[in-house]
Amino acid sequence: MFALTRFLLQSYTRKHAYFAAFAATLISMGLLYSYKPNPVMDSYAVTSVFLFIGSAWIALSFLNHAGPQQEQLHMIHIGSMRKYLLSQITALIIPVILLTFIFILYPIVFRMFGEPVRFHELMLAICGHLVMGILGFALALFCQKGLMANGTRATSILLILIIVSIAAKSLTGLLPEALAWLRWILPPVSLMMNGLMNRKSIPTYEVWGTLGYGLFYFAVLVLVYTAISVRRDART
């Protein structure tokens, strides 16, 4: 399985499809830190959203870079659709970890903050970036060509999901109280962003709770994606 993960990453990087998404994500970070000093957690909250968008973009290009015949060959060689999907997801986690590493260390190394980063803030920022990143690519799993043949429609749907996820707190605030439960259906990006930004005014357990909910949401998306893919494979 790890050999397939490595092969998928090598195949993807050889096609240079990652460049635009990586470059745009890093440029966004560069613009944010174009002046200093910056507030610690507010800045980390913003870069975690950059990672959410960037990982969705990277995932969409990664999932579409190989043709259906190539994917069938991979599944035959590895012997299981579930192992193939796990290899895909493992490959998508690696750029999330890489970008998290860059987003966390860049402002510290180049002294972009106006105050020292405390250990608790550092742990919160790392976990926030990782959860945001995996949530981003989890949304893209459902917008790949294998599930949506129309690439333009798939990209549009992914963009709408990203926008709605980021603006969910404001959008659900406009709804009547009877529909307030809808906030728990939308990806909890705005909840996590709010928790990171307002860490000092929100109880610590609530901030960590939003990250835990994001992780749970990711697990549900992956389980649904696996069920859909296995059923689709059984029909072919």
For 145-173, b/e burial (b = at least 16 CB within 10 A) is eeebeeeeebbeebeebbeebbebeebbe
The pLDDT value given to residue 117: 92
The stretch 80-106 carries a mean pLDDT of: 92
Quickly tell me which residue has 């970036």 as its tokens. Answer: 129
Mean pLDDT of the chain: 88
The whole-model pTM stands at: 0.92
Q: Among the listed ranges 150-159, 180-189, 204-213, which one has the minimum average pLDDT value?
A: 180-189
Confidence at residue 234, expressed as pLDDT on a 0 to 100 scale:
63
Q: Model confidence at 9, in pLDDT bands (50, 70, 90)?
A: confident
Model confidence at 74: pLDDT above 90: no
d(CA 181, CA 89): 30
- Is the model more confident about 172 or about 119? 119
pLDDT of the residue at 146: 78
Position 203 pLDDT exceeds 90: no
Q: Summarize the confidence of residues 145-163 as an average pLDDT.
A: 88
What's residue 235's pLDDT? 61
Is 47 in contact with 27 (CB distance < 8 Å)?
Answer: no
On the question of pLDDT at 99 being above 90, the answer is yes
> Packing angle between helix 151-166 and helix 40-63, nearest 10 degrees?
160
Residue 95: pLDDT over 80: yes
pLDDT > 70: what percent of the chain?
Answer: 98
Residue 230 has pLDDT above 90, yes or no: no
pLDDT digits (tens, 9 = 90+) for 25-66: 999 999 999 988 899 999 999 999 999 999 999 999 998 877
**Could you tell me which of 84, 83, 56 has the C-alpha nearest to residue 68?**
84
Peptide bond into 187 cis (omega under 30): no
